[in-house]
Structure 1
Amino acid sequence: MQLPDDANPSSVPGNRNLQCPYYLLCLDIAAANMWPDFTCDFCYYRKAKQDSKIDELDLCAPGWEDIWGGGS
């Protein structure tokens, strides 16, 4: 999947739309650019909805427990 031209993640704090079909692609853009935060506020798709499953967010990735569990 490719990010459409009218998708517009911005590197400022703000609201995110976790149910956007392009959210994971925008998250990849933010990570690749080492943005400390990003917002969907200025994006055409800011109100788009898609049913997502928790495994799509890959919360079980290696290191997840270290980040949120205090690294023990």
Structure 2
Amino acid sequence: DNYKDHCVRRESDIRIANPNIGDYRRYIDDKPVFRQFFCPGCGALIENEVARADDPVLRDIELRPREASKR
């Protein structure tokens, strides 16, 4: 399970992340997006990522709870 799937997600134009980028097509062909992930309870920003618009959400960490017997 990706923790980001449980966050509130906002996708914005890449220039929100960096207004100095200008026209992204100078650098790449695929359209990039700026994704922000927020806590659904308090609204705190948890994570940012820059990705191609068609890419799935990045799974950057995996949370594995310890088994009860190993505590």
Shared fold, TM over 0.5: no
Q: TM-score, with normalisation over the residues of structure 2?
A: 0.21
Higher relative contact order (CA closer than 8 Å, sequence separation 6+): 1
Q: TM-score, with normalisation over the residues of structure 1?
A: 0.20
Identify, as 1 or 2, the structure richer in strand.
2
Q: Which protein shows a greater Rg?
A: 2
